């Protein structure tokens, strides 16, 4: 075997040869190295042909990185190292489908690319229009696509589809129509790759047998993100020997909304008899301080394998909690700190939702701080509310533009019907295109014969307000649109979008509008930001990393800022509603896993940030921030999410020796002197600045006093 440095747990896993195995690898445990070592062991020690080993992972980037690492570690030791097949399960499925379709002379038309004339987006828009008799919004389209992915990955039957809790009306009919169109015309989208391959394998036993003979050792990385359809495919492929080696971490399952099914990992040993379960619990990435906090946070989840993450790294810097007064203070402070850092590519700002990134993008641009955006599609500026605001502004200056009017006519609170909209379109068709710029759509609308008197009054008022907007160039245009043009009234009626999303989206747009004086300047700024985002997404390795937590999974940085840790953001509003209404913790546990992933991206320094006010709205302290404070012994709280046994252990701790004027050294806050103590609660004056209350018993329990 090659000289790859492994610890005891890694070595045990890498030596596994035949039969099913699960490797439970905590964050930063070196799972890629272990997978590479196991592959090398099969080839060098057991003389397995490299062509018979198939390794699959979650993303193309991960597959590419894993192959590069394997070839690098192999050096000259493995002659056919390049022959080992690393890919995603989707790309493997597509290769099977292409082979089968070519063999059967079936035309293959992939409809995934939005730029192609025939694509799934336009097809779904047409289906939605025909079924619902209305145009689909961008947010509805995004939700529709999410539920289609979820349905396909979960292998839902018709009755299960009917029972889905979705805000998309007539979803079962839309889904059925979409599937029928694809079947009739041999269309294939990304989600079909798995279902179509699965059916091919069931219908073509000879082809299945050929694949089973070709690959006799199957390895799967990021197994915790496996969906039901993927699992069923793997079970078919691994037969009859079941040489299935799966590496994952149930504590990093983040994609249940996309069909990931974490119970697969938990139930794997029951499905595959004689499964070997290996643990890799040593973290090589982070400091002891970061690992201790992360371990205690994730231990609060109940639906997980029992394991304990540890490290032999130094204690390092304390984990810092920063509670800012508002988003402006948060941005200014973090930007100021970042300007003092030398290796910007080792600094990451992680967030739950893309709206958190926009103020930082704006600030980085103004301060000439280079940055890299992980997301190839920064969805915020494509949000339907952002598009609405853009349409309002443009229509004020282009009152003849039919498409702009079509975007917002039903959001003007004038009780305008689709029939009136059709009438306007027909009347404009009668006017020569070159002359249309002289037309005001509201004048055309006023000629609609079926208008009621109150509707005419509203239309005249709206026309007048748009004229005021255009002539005055009001610098408070956001308020003008929301109140004078009554867009707020439309937003308040939107049941499909949570109040938190509406408030945050409007808040970010108003933040971006702060330094401009007119609507046209705002549009120019948005256009500029779109270009900045496009350029920053190609700026890898050249600046501060801005990333959602989901996109940062698998990455690591010296310095990490986890921002907007507030209830409604992290954790999100949906998980809190599920907990409050149904005492269902499943969504909250996924949010805690998301938080855990964020914490474990940090190698050396970790700062957890929240704001007391956000876009002029008071925030609620995050459940997770409360848990962090309790673990660190800051401002102790009582929480039902805390394991009872820990509470009982804490009660037995003796703190009588911690008297007034005693000097202590806290792992987070450094040296300090006790000013006063009431039972286990001490008021401490820390040299680092500020007086804080700490729970002495909790601090002793978690070895926070050194």
**30 carries a ligand binding annotation:** yes
Q: Is 27 annotated as a binding residue?
A: yes
Which pair of structure tokens corresponds to residue 502? 């509406």
- Locus of tokens 């009152």: 399
Q: Can you tell me the distance from the alpha carbon of 39 to that of 44, in angstroms, rounded to the nearest whole number? A: 9
Residues 6+ apart with CB under 8 A from 117: none
Q: 596: closest CA among 58, 28, 32?
A: 28
What is the rounded distance in angstroms from the CA atom of residue 633 to the CA atom of residue 694?
A: 5
DSSP-assigned beta bridge partners for residue 610: 323
Please write down the long-range contacts of 388-392, taking CB distance under 8 Å and 24 or more positions apart.
Answer: 388/487, 389/478, 389/481, 389/509, 390/523, 390/526, 392/481, 392/485, 392/487, 392/519
CB 129 within 8 A of CB 230: no
Q: Residue 31 annotated as binding?
A: yes
Give the residue carrying structure tokens 């889904």.
175
Q: What are the Cα distances from residue 557, in Å, to 285, 425, 552, 594, 602?
A: 9, 54, 10, 17, 5
**Whole-angstrom distance, CA of residue 393 vs CA of residue 399:** 10
Known binding residue 424? Answer is no
**Pairing mode of beta strands 617-618, 85-88:** unpaired
Q: What is the C-alpha separation between 322 and 325, in angstroms, rounded?
A: 10
Q: Checking phi first, is residue 565 left (phi over 0); if not, alpha (psi -120 to 50) or beta? A: beta
* CB 35, CB 259: distance < 8 Å: no
User: C-alpha dihedral over 109, 112, 115, 116, to 10 degrees?
Assistant: 10
> Residue 353: phi, psi to the nearest 5?
-130, 155
Element containing residue 263 per DSSP (H, E): helix 263-271
25 is in an annotated binding site: yes
Spatial separation of the C-alpha atoms in residues 509 and 501, rounded to whole Å: 12
Contacts 24+ apart (CB under 8 A), 646-651: 646/701, 649/701, 650/697, 650/698, 650/701, 651/697
Omega before 634 within 30 of 0, i.e. cis: no
Distance of alpha carbon 21 from alpha carbon 139, whole angstroms: 41
Cβ neighbors of 382 (< 8 A, separation 6 or more) are: 138
Q: 3-state DSSP call for residue 123? A: helix
CB 676 within 8 A of CB 695: no
Q: How far apart are the first and last CA of the chain?
A: 43
**How far is Cα 544 from Cα 336, in angstroms, rounded to an integer?**
13
Q: CA-based Rg of the chain, rounded to a whole angstrom?
A: 29
Is 26 one of the annotated binding-site residues? yes
Annotated binding site: 25-32
Annotated binding site for ATP: 25-32
């Amino acid at each position: 075997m090659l000289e790859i440095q492994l610890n005891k747990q890694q070595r045990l896993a890498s030596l596994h040869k035949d039969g099913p195995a699960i490797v439970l690898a905590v964050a930063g445990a070196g799972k890629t190295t272990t997978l590479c070592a196991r592959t090398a062991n099969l080839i060098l020690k057991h003389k397995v042909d490299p062509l018979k080993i198939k390794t699959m992972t979650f993303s193309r980037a991960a597959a590419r990185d894993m192959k590069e690492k394997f070839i690098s570690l192999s050096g000259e030791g493995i002659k056919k190292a390049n022959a080992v097949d690393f890919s995603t399960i989707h790309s493997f499925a597509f290769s099977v489908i292409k082979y089968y379709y070519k063999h059967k002379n079936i035309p293959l038309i992939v409809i995934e690319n939005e730029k192609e004339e025939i694509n799934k987006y336009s097809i779904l828009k047409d289906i939605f229009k025909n079924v619902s008799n209305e145009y689909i919004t961008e947010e509805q389209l995004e939700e529709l696509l999410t539920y289609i992915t979820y349905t396909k990955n979960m292998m839902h039957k018709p009755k299960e589809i009917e029972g889905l809790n979705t805000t998309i009306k007539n979803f079962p009919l839309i889904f059925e129509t979409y599937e029928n169109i694809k079947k009739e015309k041999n269309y294939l989208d990304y989600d079909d790759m798995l279902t179509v391959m699965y059916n091919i394998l069931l219908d073509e036993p000879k082809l299945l047998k050929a694949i089973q003979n070709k690959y006799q050792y199957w390895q799967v990385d990021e197994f915790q993100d496996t969906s039901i359809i993927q699992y069923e495919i793997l079970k078919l492929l691994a037969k009859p020997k079941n040489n299935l080696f799966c590496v994952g971490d149930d504590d990093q399952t983040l994609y249940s909304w996309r069909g990931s099914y974490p119970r697969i990992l938990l139930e794997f040993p029951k499905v595959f008899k004689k499964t070997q379960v290996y643990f890799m619990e040593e973290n090589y990435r982070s400091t002891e301080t970061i690992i201790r906090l992360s371990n205690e946070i994730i231990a609060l989840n109940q639906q997980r394998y029992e394991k304990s993450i540890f490290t032999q790294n130094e204690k390092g810097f304390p984990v810092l909690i920063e509670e800012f007064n508002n988003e402006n203070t948060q941005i200014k402070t973090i930007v100021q700190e970042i300007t003092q850092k030398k290796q910007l590519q080792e600094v990451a700002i992680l967030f739950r939702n893309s709206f958190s990134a926009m103020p930082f993008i704006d600030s980085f641009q103004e301060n000439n701080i280079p940055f890299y955006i992980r997301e190839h599609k920064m969805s915020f500026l494509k949000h339907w509310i952002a598009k609405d605001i853009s349409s309002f502004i443009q229509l004020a200056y282009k009152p003849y533009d039919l498409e702009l009017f079509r975007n917002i006519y039903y959001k003007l609170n004038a009780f305008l019907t689709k029939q009136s909209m059709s009438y306007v379109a027909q009347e404009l068709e009668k006017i020569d295109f070159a002359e249309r710029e002289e037309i005001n759509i509201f004048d055309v609308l006023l000629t609609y014969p079926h208008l009621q008197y109150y509707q005419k009054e509203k239309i005249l008022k709206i026309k007048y307000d748009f004229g005021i907007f255009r002539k005055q160039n009001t610098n408070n245009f956001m308020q003008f649109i929301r109140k004078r043009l009554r867009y707020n009234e439309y937003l308040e009626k939107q049941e499909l979008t949570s109040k938190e999303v509406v408030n945050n989206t409007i808040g970010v747009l108003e933040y971006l509008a702060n330094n401009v004086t007119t609507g046209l300047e705002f549009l120019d700024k948005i256009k500029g930001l779109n270009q900045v985002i496009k350029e920053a997404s190609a700026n890898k390795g050249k600046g501060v990393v801005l990333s959602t937590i989901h996109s940062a999974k698998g990455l690591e940085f010296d310095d990490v800022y986890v921002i907007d840790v507030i209830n409604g953001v992290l954790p999100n509003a949906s998980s809190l509603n599920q907990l409050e209404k149904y005492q269902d913790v499943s969504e909250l546990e996924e949010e805690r896993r998301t938080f855990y992933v964020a914490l474990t991206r940090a190698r050396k320094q970790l700062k957890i940030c929240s704001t007391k006010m956000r876009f002029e709205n008071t925030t609620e302290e995050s459940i997770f921030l409360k848990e962090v404070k309790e673990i660190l012994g800051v401002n102790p709280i009582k929480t039902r999410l805390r394991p009872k046994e820990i509470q009982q252990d804490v009660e037995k701790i003796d703190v009588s020796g911690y008297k007034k004027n005693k000097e202590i050294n806290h792992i987070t806050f450094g040296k300090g002197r006790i000013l006063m103590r009431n039972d286990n609660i001490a008021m401490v004056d820390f040299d680092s600045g500020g007086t804080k209350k700490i729970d002495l018993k909790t601090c002793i329990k978690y070895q926070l006093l050194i």
